[in-house]
């Protein structure tokens, strides 16, 4: 995928004049084994909590939905 094209000085100045400001956003890499390992560790901690029943239902549903979305993205070539 790579980085987006850098703006020219003129494009940057125009956007700033219009009230925009540059930001950089970093998000977890959901394809990383490290991220998934940490997610599973976190899920284990949640599972052991006092709110076990309610939290487990939510975590399991969220995990199923996440896997469904990933499979859908892969099927669509994203």
Structural domain boundaries in the chain:
9-75
Q: What is the pLDDT of residue 1?
A: 57
Alpha carbons 6 and 30: distance in angstroms, whole number: 25
Say what the pTM is.
Answer: 0.38
Q: What sign for the dihedral angle of Cα 64, 66, 70, 73?
A: positive
Model confidence over 11-28: pLDDT tens digits?
999 999 999 999 888 898
Q: What is the pLDDT of residue 32?
A: 93
Residue 66's closest CA among 77, 56, 58?
A: 58
């Amino acid at each position: 995928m790579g980085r987006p094209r850098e703006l020219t000085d003129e494009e940057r100045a125009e956007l700033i004049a219009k009230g925009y400001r540059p930001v950089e956003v970093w998000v977890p890499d959901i394809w990383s084994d490290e991220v998934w390992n940490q997610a599973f560790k976190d899920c284990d901690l949640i599972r052991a909590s006092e709110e076990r029943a309610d939290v487990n239902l939510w975590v399991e549903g969220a995990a199923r939905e996440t896997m469904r979305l990933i499979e859908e993205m892969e099927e669509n070539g994203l």
